[in-house]
Structure 1
Amino acid sequence: MKTSILFSSRLRGGAAAAALGLVLGPLLAAYPLRADGLDVPIYEYGGDDLPTCATSVVAGLKADGDGFLAVRSGPGSNYREIGRLRNGDKVFTFDHKGKWFGVVYGGSQPSCISPDKKRLLPYRGKKGWIHSNWLADLAG
């Protein structure tokens, strides 16, 4: 407590920010934070003039289970949970790694128009990775 009071009373304004940067800089460089909160980015693939996403719905979650599908920051249960979906929630699937799909959800429908080349997913809305066991294709 004394150290933090002493630190804050001796450093003001720009000096405090510079000192904090010296302390946090190496840590932030070692563990970069993505603006979308993902540990593994989701890509949209293009170049073939086909739609880049599919509309799916969360289905098959058992009522006597957890009642939700965890949205993860990467393609695996070892990644952080960053959201939750329930039966009937609509998602737009883009990328996949094994049985995990990179999705956008909770916003308006993305255009899913093929870009010229692979790019980071540009669409607004929540993003994350979910396991394909709990997805059903949705027409339209």
Structure 2
Amino acid sequence: MMTFNLSRLALLAGLVVAMFGFVTALQAAGANELDKPVMEYASDDLDTCALGQVMGLKADGDGFLSVRSGPGSNYTKLDELQNGDKVWLFGREGKWIGIVYGVGELSCSPISEDRVVPHDGKKGWVHENWIEIIAG
């Protein structure tokens, strides 16, 4: 006959909860993982970023701007932006712009060395056709 051990059951339940939390954290971390980092470039006393907004998306089209993990449509789609969404513009590769979004104000003060963008917020790459510079 099998005996019921409450302490073993509690331990097993705790392990299941911990594993679920670990998997959820991994999924969230990977949700905005970039194949190509967004860079902030040093330039003689010039600001390192500008504020932009998504514009020009047609209602009868996709209706969203894809945020990609790198500068090209072949990279993984991470998110979607809508007309009017504000984005901070950083490095550029061809017609693709590295962005930070989902944050308020950022410091775009000059820096002495190029670096991966250290700011909080979501990061990714968008096509320049759908971005309008509004400050910077």
User: What does residue 45 of structure 1 align with?
Assistant: 41
Query: Counterpart in 2 of 1:135?
Result: 131
Alpha carbons 1:72, 1:83 under 8 Å: kept: yes
What root-mean-square deviation, in Å, do the aligned CA atoms of Structure 1 and Structure 2 show?
1.8
Identity of matched residues, %? 56
3-state SS of the aligned residue for 1:138? strand
Residue 36 of structure 1 and its aligned partner are, at CA, apart by 5.3
Query: In the alignment, is the contact (CA less than 8 A) between 1:108 and 1:125 conserved in 2?
Result: no
Deviations, residues 2-59 of structure 1 (Å, cap 9, x unaligned): xxxxxxxxxxxxxxxxxxxxxxxxxxxxxxx989510001110114111100111100
Give 1:63 shift: 0.6
Q: Does the Cα contact within 8 Å between 1:104 and 1:125 map onto a contact in 2?
A: yes
* 4+ residue segments displaced more than 2 Å: 33-36
Q: Unaligned 5+ residue runs, structure 1? A: 1-32
**CA drift at 1:139:** 3.2
1: distance between equivalents of 2:119 and 2:44? 20
Structure 2 residue 67 is matched with structure 1 residue 71? yes
Change in 2 beyond 3 A, CA 1:35/1:47: farther
Aligned partner of residue 45 in structure 2, secondary structure: coil
Q: Do the aligned residues in 2 keep the contact of 1:39 with 1:73 (CA within 8 Å)?
A: yes
* Residue 114 of structure 2: aligned partner: 118
In the aligned structure 1, how far is the partner of 2:60 from the partner of 2:31? 35
TM-score by length of 2: 0.75
User: Aligned pair count?
Assistant: 108
Give, in whole Å, the separation in 1 of the partners of 2:66 and 2:115: 25
Q: Hey, what does 1:94 align to over in structure 2?
A: 90
Q: Distance in 2 between matches of 1:67 and 1:35?
A: 21
TM-score, normalised with respect to structure 1: 0.73
Q: Which amino acid counterpart does residue 43 of structure 1 have in structure 2? A: M
- Worse-matched range after superposition: 47-56 or 92-101: 47-56
Q: Is the 8 A contact 2:32 2:69 kept in 1?
A: no
